[in-house]
Amino acid sequence: MLTLAPRASKPQSPDLLAWYDRHRRSLPWRAEAGEVPDPYRVWLSEIMLQQTTVTAVKPFYLRFLERFPTVAALAEAPVDAVMQAWAGLGYYSRARNLHACAKAVVDKHAGAFPATEAELLALPGIGAYTAAAVAAIAFHEPAAAVDGNVERVVSRLFTVEEPLPKAKPLLRTLTLEMVPLDRPGDFAQALMDLGATICTPKRPACALCPWMAPCEARAQGSQELYPKKQKKLTGDLRRGAAFVVLRADDSILLRTRPTQGLLGGMVETPTSAWEPGYEPSRAMLDAPIEARWQRLPGLVRHVFTHFPLELTVFLAKVPRGTPEPGDMRWTLRRDLHEEALPGVMKKVLAHALGDGKPVRNGAAKPKPDQI
Ligand code: SF4
């Protein structure tokens, strides 16, 4: 049975809210004090912020909102346009779900987001955290929005010894017990801000924390030991080959990946399978067309959520009029920016065409991307 360490006093929501009123972050999707929050903007930002930093999301959010200013505009847009606007944010299944959710809001809820956590949870792509965050922030429902930041804060406040992910239900209960009925939305946002700016993973600024007095981890000097985590198993390195075909009219051979699965619905140059035992010396068996292939020096490295990938890149230049194989198409190089190319494929094209900094063997640390 779980036991919690004894503490002098409980963390009080008014202390956190008083701190929030003075130090709240100004964010493009956040209503200013006294303004009515727009559920569409709250929802959109929460989906974008899943696994992505505020700094990375800000420019994406503003461009996306300009292109799809309302949930109706998003629902009406072709899914390809949504995927293209999302390219670069990672976790591409979120973009498909975003579109499906907008359609559901328009079709089943007459274009207005439902106001309760339970109804929100029933929409595509809305999980427990997002449902609670939107319900609390946009509709003032006393819901506990618990993401990684909040888990860190609460596990430290109460020195929760149970490791994540098993501790999730307990952390949620502890959070819910603190949610004030009068300002649930501000409380949710205050906790987010506290986790992002004060109760950081390393060297939390406890001296500035409104909950310094009741925080058990701070009293013990053990802040960085929380939250406890179960050891993660990382996936094996996978290898593969990517084939860049440049036709004399300056077009590139592309194809669209299947909707389901890794990078579903995104666009790529033809590639082999990605497998731990893939042998690049046999890559010609996977080449999409017959041509004079040139194996380029170096590798393209990319890190997905579940595995790292190394691609050997092959380049072929073919004459004008070369037809495309069945499920592929030619896209002019100048139009590549309109394609929903994931980060790994941008690296491949940069490596082959010299349009950017190629990621050569050992030259750059790969940036994690998600599926
Ligand atoms: S006192 Fe320190 S460890 Fe505790 S909640 Fe505040 S910032 Fe986090």
pLDDT one-digit tens code per residue, 278-333: 988 889 999 999 999 999 999 999 988 889 999 999 999 999 999 999 889 999 99
Residue 245 Cβ contacting ligand 1 at under 6 Å = no
Instruction: Say which residue the tokens 């065409």 belong to.
Output: 353
SS (H, E, C) 62-77: HHHHHHCCCHHHHHHC
Ligand 1 binding pocket includes 199 (Cβ within 6 Å): yes
Beta-strand ranges (E) seen in 192-325 are 238-247, 251-256, 267-268, 294-295, 300-303, 308-318
Catalytic residues: 46
**Could you tell me how many residues make up the chain?**
371
* Residue ID of nearest Cα to ligand 1 atom 8: 199
Q: Is the CB of 157 under 6 A from ligand 1?
A: yes
Q: Give kind and range of the element (H or E) at residue 365.
A: none
Does residue 7 carry a pLDDT above 70?
no
Helix (H) or strand (E) holding 233: none
Which residue type occupies 166?
A: K
What local confidence, expressed as pLDDT, does residue 35 receive?
Answer: 83
- pLDDT digits over 128-165, tens only? 999 999 999 999 999 999 999 999 999 999 999 999 98
pLDDT of residue 232: 65
Q: What is the mean pLDDT of residues 49-78?
A: 91
Kindly tell me if the per-residue pLDDT of 111 is higher than 90: yes
Q: Domain 13-225: which CATH class?
A: mainly alpha
Q: Which of 23, 155, 218 has most ligand 1 atoms within 8 Å of CB, for mutation? A: 218
pLDDT higher for 91 or 268? Answer: 268
pLDDT for the residue 356: 46
Q: Ligand 1: does its nearest atom lie under 6 Å from the Cβ of 156?
A: yes
Average pLDDT, stretch 82-111? 87
Residue 215 Cβ inside 6 Å of ligand 1? The answer reads yes
- Taking the C-alpha atoms of residue 5 and residue 100, their distance in angstroms, rounded to an integer, is 45
> What pLDDT shows up at residue 135?
97
Q: State the DSSP string of 90-133.
A: S-THHHHHHHHHHHHHHHHHTTS--SSHHHHHTSTT--HHHHHH
Taking the C-alpha atoms of residue 95 and residue 80, their distance in angstroms, rounded to an integer, is 10
Nearest residue (CA) to ligand 1, atom 4:
215
Compute the average pLDDT of residues 111-126. 94
CB of 19 shorter than 6 A to ligand 1:
no
Q: How far is the CA of 215 from the centre of ligand 1 (A)?
A: 6
Q: Report the Cα 169 to chain-centroid distance in Å.
A: 23
CA dihedral 86, 92, 96, 102 (to 10 degrees): -50
The domain 238-353: what is its CATH number? Answer: 3.90.79.10
Ligand 1: atom nearest CA of 204 is 7
Q: Give the pLDDT confidence score for residue 302 in this predicted structure.
A: 94
- Check pLDDT > 50 for residue 118: yes
What is the model's pLDDT at position 371? 32
CB 300 within 8 A of CB 313: yes
What are the pLDDT digits (tens) for 156-190?
999 999 999 899 999 999 999 999 999 999 999 99
Percentage of residues of the chain with pLDDT beyond 70 = 92
Closest ligand 1 atom to residue 210 Cα is 6
Q: 167 to each of 12, 133, 161, 270, 320, how far by Cα in Å?
A: 22, 20, 8, 43, 60
pLDDT at residue 355, rounded to an integer: 57
Sketch the domain layout of the chain as residue ranges: 13-225, 238-353
For residue 86, which of 71, 101, 68 has the smallest C-alpha distance?
Answer: 68
CB within 8 Å of 149: residues ≥ 6 apart: 191, 192, 194, 195, 196, 199
Q: What pLDDT is stored for residue 87 in this prediction?
A: 80
